[in-house]
Amino acid sequence: MKKIIVILLILSSLSCKKDNKDKDQIKLTDTDSTTELPVLKINKKEFSEIDNLYFNHAVGGMPIQEETLVSMKYDDDFLEIKFECRNNPRLDQNYYTKDNSWMFRQEVFELFISKGKEAQEHYIEIQLNPNNALFIGKVNKRYKSDNAYKLQLIDVHESGIAHTAEKDIENNLWKGYLKIPLKLLDYPKTTVNNIFRLNMFRVISNVDHIDKDWIATVESATFACWSSPMTTKPQFHAPEYFGFLVLE
């Protein structure tokens, strides 16, 4: 009799764990992605940190060695993001200082986001680099058909985004902060839920550069993602692999 009771208790415990796990999953109506996508739930009370310090390689999906700490919170009007890019020894070799320049050619922290739980071919792209240069644009990536890509830049001063970046060369890290109007992120269309498709990226230089116009390549840099698209070459613009951001 005791054995039967113990078995029943174990089965009940496993059932509860499954129920709790299912609550954290987001059911999709599209079938584009067959991989398990990460979910970040945030609230208005305090900053919530991502679970894992290690982003994944854009190619292959294995964890990178460098640590990246990201935390977020929100209020009625803004989404706030704090991040810390660690293990970054070449901070003084980033030369883009102008907003909306091609700063993604060197080291940056990037955020791609669209409103709604389904993957969208239209989304917002936001980048910040160690020199506090900001890049904002509306992207159209037709991943469901011909993979055509279009970018419409957004005026930084009209975007309403507040941002700061701080270098800590002694400790090989840099910190960034973004305060983004939720109205800007209500794109490509308004939805009734507070769910977004989100991915975060980091470009990390692995070699020293003499030429100020250097461009990150597969041989010279790590292309890292919060949610890896598992492509055969570095590719950040893969909306079907974006994870989820839930405003609780």
pLDDT of residue 46: 97
Per-residue confidence (pLDDT) for residue 3, from 0 to 100: 42
Domains of the chain: 29-247 (2.60.40.1190)
Q: Write down the pLDDT at residue 4.
A: 42
Query: Among candidates 213, 206, 198, which has minimal Cα distance to 81?
Result: 198
Q: pLDDT below 70 — which residues of the chain?
A: 1-35
Residue 140 CA to residue 150 CA, distance in Å, equals 5
**Residue 52 pLDDT:** 94
DSSP string for 45-111: SS-EE-S-S--EETBT-PBPSS-EEEEEEE-SSEEEEEEEE-S-TTGGG----STTSSGGGSS-EEE
- Alpha-helical segments (H) within the chain: 2-24, 156-159, 182-185
